[in-house]
Each structure stands twice: as structure tokens, then as C-alpha cells.
Structure 1
Amino acid sequence: MRLSIKRVYAPPEEGDGFRVLIDRLWPRGLAKEKAGVDLWLRDIAPSTALRQWFGHDPARWETFRERYLEELRQGEAAAALETLRAEVAARPVLTLLYSAHDEAHNNAVALRDMLQGGG
């Protein structure tokens, strides 16, 4: 199984495999036909309050990761995480899609690391 991450604005590629959007909001200005999203898991995204607090500030990254992983253990986020884990187990290639500009500090990085055993 290969798990990767990619900005949703990048064109879909055959090597992406099953593509899962993990943002709460649909990416601004992107037509659904061009996105190539196979599954949209809104509930796996960080809460609005956490996302706004983080503001993609690298100085808040570690705290954001910890709080986000805690959110994933509760309520609808936990159910969405189980859905994602089932998809990961069922697919040879899965790509997590995100819309943030910062490629190193975003929920897809935190989620990928957790799914691969790093968090």
C-alpha cells in the first residue's frame, strides 16, 4: 500500500490511485469535474476553531498536530478516520488531497504521518 499527499489543485494523475479530499470546505475555484476526487471526508478535517487558531503558522505546527490528532479520536472525526483506514487497507494506492498552500504544515501531513505510525 502506498499513501501519498497532494494539493487538490494539482492535476489528477493515474499514479494517484484512489483520491480522498480531507478538507472541510470545497477548494475555492475548483470545479468538481477537474478535481478528480473519489471520496470527500469533510468530517476528518480539523475543526473550524482549530484551523483558524493554527492559521498555517509553522510556529504552531506541533501544537496543531497534537490537537488535530486528539480531535480524530472523537465523534464524527473518529468515524471518518475509520472510513479512511478501511479505504487505505482496501487500496494499493491512496492519495490524501488538501488545499493549503503550505506543503509541509497541513492536516494531510499530520494525517499521513499518523496513518503510517508516526503520530
Structure 2
Amino acid sequence: MSVRVRRIYDPPEPDDGVRVLVDRLWPRGVAKDEAHVDEWPKGLTPSTELRQWYHAGEGSYEEFAQRYEAELAAPEAAKLLDHVRELARKGDVTLVTASKSPERGHASVLLRLLDGR
């Protein structure tokens, strides 16, 4: 059982397990039937305000991660995070994102929380 992050633009692989889209908006240029997304919990994604703040370059990745973790503590998001955690207990999970730099975005925060790092 593992959790990993991949870009949605990369072709699906047999060992992806459950593919969970962790972006609030559907990625441009990706057909839904070709994405092989099993779940899309929009309530697990950063708020529009936080996403826009971070992409505007107004704060550091560390501050973004702290603010995002605070959002994930809200009841709805916490419930969705627990659901993905349960999926990971049962098998492999791949968090898919359109982000050009997943290691400096919300997917890496989710990965750390799901892996217990």
C-alpha cells in the first residue's frame, strides 16, 4: 500500500491504484474518460482564496502549507482526508494533479499528511 503524486497529464499506470484528482478545477485538455480518475473530492482542495494568494506569489510554500493544513482541519475536509486515508489502507492511491510542480503545491501537503511524514 502506498500513496504517491503524479501529474494527470502522464498516462495512467497499472500500479496507480485508486486515482484521486486533488485539483478544484478539471485540468485543461484532459478528457474525463482518458484521465481514469476514480474520485474527485473537491472539498479536499485548497480554497479559491488560498490558491489565488499562493499563485500570486504573495507568500512562501511553508506559509501556504500551514494555511492549507488549517483548511484541512475543517470538518468537511477532514472527513474527505480520512476517506482517502482509508483508501490508502486498503491499497495503492495516486493523487493526480495538473500542477507543474507538484512537490511545491497542495498535493505534496496531502501526501505528507497521508503518509504520516
Same fold (TM over 0.5): yes
Residue ranges of structure 2 left out of the alignment (5+ in a row): none
TM-score norm. by structure 2 comes to 0.92
Deviating 4+ runs (over 2 angstroms): 56-59
Is 2:95 the partner of 1:96? yes
Aligned to 1:26, what secondary structure does the other structure show?
A: coil
Kindly provide the amino acid, as one letter, of the partner of residue 99 in structure 2.
A
| Equivalent residues, number | 117
Aligned to 1:104, what secondary structure does the other structure show?
A: helix
Spell out, residue by residue over 1:58-81, the C-alpha distance to the aligned partner (whole angstroms, 9 max, x if none): 961000001101100103212211
TM-score norm. by structure 1 comes to 0.90
Is 2:109 the partner of 1:110? yes
Spell out, residue by residue over 1:26-47, the C-alpha distance to the aligned partner (whole angstroms, 9 max, x if none): 1112100110111111110000
Identity %: 41
Aligned to 1:9, what secondary structure does the other structure show?
A: coil
The residue that corresponds to 1:29 in the other structure is 29
In structure 2, relative to structure 1, the CA distance for the partners of 1:53 and 1:59 (3 Å cut) is closer
In structure 2, relative to structure 1, the CA distance for the partners of 1:84 and 1:14 (3 Å cut) is same
Q: After superposing the two structures, state which structure 1 stretch, 55-64 or 105-114, moved more.
A: 55-64
Aligned to 1:39, what secondary structure does the other structure show?
A: coil
Alignment partners' CA distance in 2, 1:9 and 1:41: 19
Residue ranges of structure 1 left out of the alignment (5+ in a row): none
Is 2:20 the partner of 1:20? yes
RMSD over aligned Cα atoms: 1.6
Kindly provide the amino acid, as one letter, of the partner of residue 62 in structure 2.
E
Alignment partners' CA distance in 1, 2:46 and 2:96: 14
